[in-house]
Structure formats: C-alpha cells, structure tokens
C-alpha cells in the first residue's frame, strides 16, 4: 500500500509539519508498504534535503511559484494517485490542508476523517481518534481503506530530517497547472518579528483565558521575567487585545519549540497545541482536571494559576537573592 504524506511550505521551503505528516503516515504502514512524501513548490532542493525519512519523494515543481495554491496541489496529487495508486493520504489540518483534503476526497470518492490525533491500522480498515470541538470531544472512528486523513499538527512527533537519495526522488512539472489555476496568490505578508521572535525563545510562559483579565497578565509577566522567559498568549487573550498578535501561540499564531513551556489557564485546544506540542518540557496549570492540555503536558497541576504564580515567583525571588 502507498501512503502519501502531504508536505507544506512556501518559496520552495518545507515546513516542519511535513515531518509530522511522514510520522503519521508511518503509523499505518505494514511490511512492503511505502510512505511517499508529496511536495509542491518552486524548487525541490529543500524537500530533497529534509524528507529522507519517507521512502520516496514526489515533487511537483513550478519554478517561480512562491505559493502553490490548494487547487493546483490537489490536482497534482490526484494525478499522481491516478498514475501510481494509493492506500491512504495524510494531510495536515492547515489553511491549505483544509482545501487539499476535501478536494482529494471528492475527486477520489474516498472517506475523509478530519482532526485526527491517533491512527491504528487493522488490515483494510483504519481506526482513528479525532479530537474535535477544541479538544473537548474525542471521536473514535473507523474507515475502510483507501481513505484521506486530515491530521492535527502537533499530534505526531516529527520524523527525522534526512536527505533523500536522488534515486528515490521523482519530479513532475507543475508549471502549466500553476499557470492555468483560477487561484493566483498575489503576495506574502510576513509579520515583523523585531519586537519578539517566540520561535527563538528557550522558555515561554503562556497565559490562556483562565488569566481572567488584562491586568492579571502583569503577574504572569513578572513570573516570566524571573524565569528569563517570554510571555505569550492563547488566541482569546490576543483577540481581547491583552497581548500583541506576535505573542500568540497556535495555528493562527506562532509555532514554538522552547525547552520549557508553562501554560497557565490554557485549555489545550488542538489549534493551540499545534503551536506548542513539540516543546521539550510542557508544564500545565489548569483547575479542570479534564482539560485537554494535560494530554500533552509532561507535568501538570490543577491548582489555581494565581496561587502558582505567587508561590513560584516568591520561591524564585528567594533563591535569586
Ligand atoms: P479556554 O478554552 O476558555 O480555556 C481556559 C482554561 O482556563 C480552562 O480550561 C479553565 O479550566 C482554565 N482556568 C480558568 N480559570 C483558571 C484558574 N484560575 N487557574 C487555572 N486554570 C484556570 N487558539 C490558540 O490558542 N491559538 C491559535 O493560534 C488558534 N488558532 C485558531 C484557528 C482556528 C481556525 C480556530 C477555529 C481556532 C483557533 N484557536 C486558536 C482557538 C482555539 O480553538 C481555542 O478556542 C483557544 O485555544 C482557547 O483558548 P484558551 O485555552 O485560552 O481558553
């Protein structure tokens, strides 16, 4: 069986989530099966340098295309599937992946399961766990193969970065598909990281809606200062204007990988975990013992976050004297 791991990136660069898709695809292979990384972009070099943990790489290349729109990506992938066959397709739950997964499912007629966190294969059937409703519902689903799975970023540990030998790489020309596409990406508007680059932070203290109000963020900021950490927030905190957008962690914010991540009053919705699930050590503080954040945390406490901030800050102040 061939399992396609859909990779993502722009300007010919491969995003880290691509390695997670290879790891997710590996969950369902049996001896004799193949994991094929599918890439679409302006050049194949970065994909060739990084995606060697797949058995093969198929790169749809359109020189000059900084972004390959989802409709082109899906068409190229479906053409490959038609030529080679497939047993399953793994797509990241992302802005691009939402469009790619649904287009592939419609074109092939295969079932699509979204928000996948766990995958198990039993012969010709997949058993998967889908994390839905901001992580509050875990749905156990079964699907016959072939199938399309849209996988939550952060759910699978990245496969190793490795170069892929040229004999395992196949290149397709996507130029005419890009030229005839109805969707034309016009510009890439990147944020200005001059205030803070959370991606480079070794320690992060992240506050969620549990912090209650804007004034209380200063308490968490004080703790962050004592720890030499950056302060960050979940989306509701940023949407409320309590922290700037560049300090948002998650799907529509920054993807961070610090050595230490302290989540204070964060529920752990999949969209948040997508941005921090790969941190080395995660400490979660949440009064709700059933909060999904505890399923990714290495250490957790159900104490009140304000109690923790005050006792930990006091301890750090004492030891630094
Ligand atoms: P809540 O879910 O309200 O959780 C607050 C938690 O605080 C609760 O679990 C509660 O038990 C706990 N709590 C309350 N008081 C205390 C206390 N005193 N002490 C300890 N614990 C306490 N979210 C992001 O964070 N980042 C994103 O980039 C992002 N992108 C998204 C993109 C899309 C397309 C969509 C649909 C959603 C996105 N979201 C994102 C939103 C996400 O689904 C959640 O709604 C959000 O993460 C919830 O934020 P929260 O955990 O701060 O708040």
Sorted by where each begins, the domain ranges of the chain are 2-179, 198-320
Q: How far is the CA of 240 from the centre of ligand 1 (A)?
A: 12
Are the beta carbons of 76 and 84 closer than 8 angstroms? no
DSSP state of 109: T
Strands 125-132 and 137-144: antiparallel
State the closest ligand 1 atom to the C-alpha of 233, by its place in the atom list counted from 1. 25
Predicted pLDDT at 19: 97
Once rounded to an integer, what is the mean pLDDT over residues 133-156?
Answer: 91
98-131 burial code (b ≥16 CB/10 A, e <16): ebbbbbbbebbebbbbbbbbbbebeeeebebbbb
Q: Using CB atoms within 10 A of its CB, is residue 317 exposed (0-12), middle (13-18) or buried (19+)?
A: exposed
Q: How far is the CA of 272 from the centre of ligand 1 (A)?
A: 7
Confidence of residue 190 (pLDDT cuts 50, 70, 90): confident
CATH code given to domain 2-179: 3.40.50.620
Nearest Cα residue to 47 out of 77, 17, 9: 9
Q: Which CATH superfamily is domain 198-320 in?
A: TPP-binding domain (3.40.50.1220)
Confidence of residue 11 (pLDDT cuts 50, 70, 90): confident
Which residue reads 């016959």 in tokens? 144
Are the beta carbons of 204 and 260 closer than 8 angstroms? yes
Are the beta carbons of 111 and 105 closer than 8 angstroms? yes
65-91 pLDDT per residue, tens: 988 999 999 999 999 999 999 999 999
Once rounded to an integer, what is the mean pLDDT over residues 25-47?
Answer: 96
As a whole-number percent, the residues of the chain with pLDDT over 90 amount to 85
Helices 95-108, 70-84: axis angle to 10 degrees equals 40
Strands 125-132 and 112-122: antiparallel
159-168 pLDDT per residue, tens: 999 999 999 9
Name residue 90's beta-bridge partners.
5, 149
Give dist(CA 78, CA 60) in Å, integer.
Answer: 12
Out of 93, 234, 248, mutate this one to test ligand 1's pocket (max ligand atoms within 8 Å of CB): namely 234
Asked whether the predicted pLDDT for residue 321 surpasses 70, the reply is: no
Confidence of residue 133 (pLDDT cuts 50, 70, 90): confident
| Atom 26 of ligand 1: nearest residue by CA position | 250
Query: Could you tell me if the CB of 302 is within 6 A of ligand 1?
Result: no
Out of 199, 207, 236, 263, mutate this one to test ligand 1's pocket (max ligand atoms within 8 Å of CB): namely 236
State the closest ligand 1 atom to the C-alpha of 208, by its place in the atom list counted from 1. 52
Predicted pLDDT at 191: 73
Query: Could you tell me if the CB of 300 is within 6 A of ligand 1?
Result: no
**The pair of three-digit structure tokens given for residue 149, joined into one six-digit string:** 């799975």
Are the beta carbons of 76 and 82 closer than 8 angstroms? no
**The pair of three-digit structure tokens given for residue 308, joined into one six-digit string:** 């923790």
Once rounded to an integer, what is the mean pLDDT over residues 122-138?
Answer: 90
Q: How far is the CA of 270 from the centre of ligand 1 (A)?
A: 9
Give dist(CA 233, CA 203) in Å, integer.
Answer: 13
Name residue 285's beta-bridge partners.
264, 301
Q: How far is the CA of 293 from the centre of ligand 1 (A)?
A: 10
Q: How far is the CA of 294 from the centre of ligand 1 (A)?
A: 13
Query: Could you tell me if the CB of 285 is within 6 A of ligand 1?
Result: yes
Query: Do the domains spanning 2-179 and 198-320 agree at the CATH topology level?
Result: yes
């Amino acid at each position: 069986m061939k399992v396609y791991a859909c990779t993502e990136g722009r300007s010919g660069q491969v995003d880290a989530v691509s390695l997670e898709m290879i790891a997710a695809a590996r969950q369902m292979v049996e001896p004799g099966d193949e994991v094929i990384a599918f890439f679409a972009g302006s050049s194949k070099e970065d994909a060739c340098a990084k995606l060697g943990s797949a058995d093969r790489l198929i790169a749809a290349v359109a020189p000059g295309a900084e972004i390959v729109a989802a409709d082109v990506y899906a068409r190229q992938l479906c053409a490959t599937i038609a030529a080679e066959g497939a047993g399953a397709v793994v797509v990241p739950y992302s802005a691009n992946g939402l469009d790619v997964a649904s287009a592939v499912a419609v074109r092939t007629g295969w079932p699509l399961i979204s928000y996948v966190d766990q995958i198990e294969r039993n012969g010709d059937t997949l058993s998967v766990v889908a994390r839905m409703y901001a992580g509050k519902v875990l749905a156990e689903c079964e699907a016959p193969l072939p199938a399309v799975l849209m996988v939550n970023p952060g759910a699978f540990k990245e496969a190793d970065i490795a170069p892929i030998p040229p004999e395992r790489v196949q290149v397709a020309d996507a130029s005419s598909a890009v030229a005839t596409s109805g969707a034309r990406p016009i510009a890439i508007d990147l944020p200005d990281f001059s205030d803070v680059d959370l991606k480079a932070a070794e320690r992060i203290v992240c506050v969620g809606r549990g912090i209650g109000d804007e004034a209380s963020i200063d308490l968490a900021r004080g703790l962050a200062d004592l720890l030499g950490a950056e302060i960050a927030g979940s989306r509701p905190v940023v949407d409320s204007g309590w922290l700037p957008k560049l300090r948002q962690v998650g799907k529509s914010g920054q993807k961070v990988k610090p050595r230490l991540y302290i989540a204070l009053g964060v529920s752990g919705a999949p969209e948040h975990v997508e941005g921090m699930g790969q941190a080395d050590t995660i400490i979660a503080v949440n009064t709700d013992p059933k909060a999904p954040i505890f399923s990714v945390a290495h250490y957790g406490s159900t104490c009140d976050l304000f109690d923790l901030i005050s006792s930990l800050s006091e301890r750090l102040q004492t030891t630094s004297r």
